[in-house]
Amino acid sequence: MLDSSRHNLKITVMKFFLVFAIIAILIAAIIAVLVPYEPRNPLSGKEWPPGSPWPLPYNMSSTATVLSFNPATFRIVPLVLNSEQCDPLDFAVSKYNNDFLFATIEGIPGVPDPEVGLISELRVLVVGDASGNTECQNFPRFSDDIDVYERYAITISSDGLADIQAFTVWGALKGIETFAQLIWNNDNFDGNGPLHFYVNETIVQDYPRFPHRGLMIDTSRHYQQEKIFYEVMDGMMYNKLNVFHWHIVDDQSFPYVSIRFPELSAKGAYTSRHVYTQEMIARVMEAGRLRGIRIVMEFDTPGHANSWGHAYPDLLTPCYGDGVTPDTPNYPQHAARENLNPMEEFTYSFMRDFFEEIVQDVSKDIFVHLGMDEVYPPCWESSPEIAEFMRINNYTSIPEVQEHFTTRHIAMVQQLGALPIIWQDPLDFGVNVDQDVLIQVWKNWGPDWESNLQNVLDKGYKTLLSAPWYINYIDYGESWRNYYEADPVLSLPNITEAQIPLIRGGEACLWGEFVDQTNILPRLFPFISAVSERLWSHDIPISSQATNDARRRLDHQRCRLLQRGIPSQPILNGYCGAWEVLL
DSSP per-residue string spanning 252-307? S---B--SS-THHHHHHSSSTTS-B-HHHHHHHHHHHHHTT-EEEEEEEESSS-GG
Helix (H) or strand (E) holding 33: helix 2-34
Give the pLDDT of the chain (583 residues) as one tens digit per residue.
434 444 454 445 455 444 444 444 333 333 333 333 456 667 888 999 999 999 999 999 999 999 999 999 999 999 998 777 899 999 999 999 999 999 887 667 899 999 999 999 999 999 999 899 999 999 999 999 999 999 999 999 999 999 999 999 999 999 999 999 999 998 766 667 788 999 999 999 999 999 999 999 999 999 999 999 999 999 999 999 999 999 999 999 999 999 999 999 999 999 999 999 999 999 999 999 999 999 999 999 999 999 999 999 999 999 999 999 999 999 999 999 999 999 999 999 999 999 999 999 999 999 999 999 999 899 999 999 999 999 999 999 999 999 999 999 999 999 999 999 999 999 999 999 999 999 999 998 767 899 999 999 999 999 999 999 999 988 888 999 999 999 999 999 999 999 999 999 999 999 999 999 999 999 999 999 999 999 999 999 999 999 999 999 999 999 999 999 999 999 988 888 666 665 5
Same-domain pairing of 67 and 164: yes
Same-domain pairing of 23 and 112: no
pLDDT digits (tens, 9 = 90+) for 134-143: 999 999 999 9
Show the domain range for 134: 59-206
Strands 197-206 and 59-69: antiparallel
At residue 439, what are phi and psi to the nearest 5 degrees? -100, 125
Does residue 123 fall inside a structural domain?
yes
User: How many other C-beta atoms can be found within 10 angstroms of the C-beta atom of residue 170?
Assistant: 26
Same-domain pairing of 31 and 137: no
Report pLDDT for 188: 63
pLDDT digits (tens, 9 = 90+) for 410-421: 999 999 999 999
Same-domain pairing of 65 and 36: no
Active site residue 231: no
Domain CATH code at residue 161: 3.30.379.10
Same-domain pairing of 29 and 109: no
Number of domains into which the chain is organized: 2
Q: Using omega within 30 degrees of 0 as the cis cutoff, is the peptide bond preceding 39 cis?
A: no
Same-domain pairing of 64 and 199: yes
Same-domain pairing of 94 and 145: yes
Does residue 160 fall inside a structural domain?
yes
Cβ 72 vs Cβ 203: under 8 Å: no
Report pLDDT for 23: 45
**Residue 146 to residues 21, 397, 411, Cα–Cα distance (Å):** 69, 43, 29
Q: Which residues of 61-71 are buried (b: 16+ CB within 10 A; e: fewer)?
A: ebeeebbbbbb
Does residue 35 fall inside a structural domain?
yes
Domain boundary among 183, 206, 229: 206
Does residue 25 fall inside a structural domain?
yes
Does residue 29 fall inside a structural domain?
yes
Same-domain pairing of 34 and 166: no
Nearest alpha carbon to residue 76 among 157, 179, 149, 2: 179
Annotated catalytic residue, options 38, 84, 226, 374: 374
Same-domain pairing of 72 and 169: yes
Strands, E, within 132-253: which ranges? Answer: 152-156, 162-166, 184-185, 197-206, 212-218, 243-247
| Length of the chain (residues) | 583
At residue 536, what are phi and psi to the nearest 5 degrees? -95, -50
pLDDT digits (tens, 9 = 90+) for 247-294: 999 999 999 999 999 999 999 999 999 999 999 999 999 999 999 999
Does residue 30 fall inside a structural domain?
yes
Same-domain pairing of 202 and 63: yes
pLDDT digits (tens, 9 = 90+) for 48-93: 999 999 999 999 999 999 999 999 999 999 999 877 789 999 999 9
Report pLDDT for 36: 38
Give dist(CA 118, CA 160) in Å, integer. Answer: 6
Strands 438-441 and 184-185: unpaired
Give dist(CA 576, CA 555) in Å, integer. Answer: 9
Helices 527-536, 544-563: axis angle to 10 degrees equals 120
Give dist(CA 276, CA 255) in Å, integer. Answer: 6
Cβ 534 vs Cβ 540: under 8 Å: yes
Does residue 500 fall inside a structural domain?
no
State which amino acid sits at residue 132. Answer: G
Same-domain pairing of 34 and 76: no
Does residue 124 fall inside a structural domain?
yes
Same-domain pairing of 25 and 111: no
